[in-house]
Each structure stands twice: as C-alpha cells, then as structure tokens.
Amino acid sequence: MINFNYETDFKLSSEEDISKWILETITLENHSLEEVNYVFCDDEYLHKLNVEFLNHDTLTDVISFDYSVGKQVSGDIFISIERVVDNAKDFNVSFDVELKRVIIHGILHYCGYKDKTNDDAILMRDKEDKYLALYNQKFN
C-alpha cells in the first residue's frame, strides 16, 4: 500500500499513476511492497525531523525512514516541497521532474541503493534517470 499525506497546501495531481510507477519500480528491483507513506511538507516541518531524529541542523529535500525487512519495502518518506522547488531551479529542471526524482530516490534507498560515495551516487542517479524515463514512457 502506498499512502500520500499532506502537511502543506501542495497535492499530487496523479496519485494513481505515481503509485503504479512506484510499485513497478519496486517490482523491477526484485522487491515487493509492504507499505510506504509519503508525507509532503514544508522546510520547517522537515528541518525539525532532521534535527530531532538525525541530529542534522540543515535543510534537506527528503528524509526516509526505512522499515523494510529483506525485500519487503516499507517506510516513511518525508519530502519538503519548498526544497524541491528550490532544487528544481538550481538544477534547471521542472518542479515535476525534481519531485518525481525525490519520490523515487527514497524507494531506491529501500531497495538497497546508497548515495554516500561518489560511485554510489552515480549509480543512484542512473537508477533515478532510468525510472524517470519509465514514468515518462508510461504516463506522459
């Protein structure tokens, strides 16, 4: 089950398509879906979580709490819409592209991908690009 929750005025326009895309990504990565909860929020909300749970006094675009067991994907993914807007400008991409990248980034972490080293970050970006292309192929 994939749930979308909103702690800000933002609302996804295509929850059903995004849910199908997330599920297909999980399946293609040889995992299965247990439950994933997305929470769309603002900088203040996510900053508070970052300080309280991760001891990071910085702004970030996404925080994932992974409850997966084996290949059963489960967790909570918090996304700051304000950070996504700013990052889209910084990376010169549309808000929609950057939002989908962040949405799938958390799922890829749950499927075992890391991004702390340069090599890991390159692989993560390649996977993000692959699944963004899949979304565009199926739903655009």
Question: Mean pLDDT of residues grouped by 10 in the chain (140 residues)?
Answer: 95 94 97 97 93 86 92 97 96 96 95 92 95 91
Quote the pLDDT of residue 54. Answer: 85
Quote the pLDDT of residue 140. Answer: 75
Quote the pLDDT of residue 71. Answer: 96
Residue 115 assigned ligand-binding role: yes
Quote the pLDDT of residue 32. Answer: 97
Q: Which CATH number fits domain 2-139: 1.10.10.10, 3.40.50.1820, 3.40.50.300, 3.40.390.30?
A: 3.40.390.30
- Record the tokens describing residue 98, joined without a space: 């950057």
- Record the tokens describing residue 67, joined without a space: 């409850």
CA distance 19 to 95: 18
Quote the pLDDT of residue 48. Answer: 93
Residue 105 assigned ligand-binding role: yes
Residue 31 assigned ligand-binding role: no
Quote the pLDDT of residue 122. Answer: 95
Quote the pLDDT of residue 116. Answer: 87
Strand partners, 77: 38, 64
Global confidence as pTM:
0.92
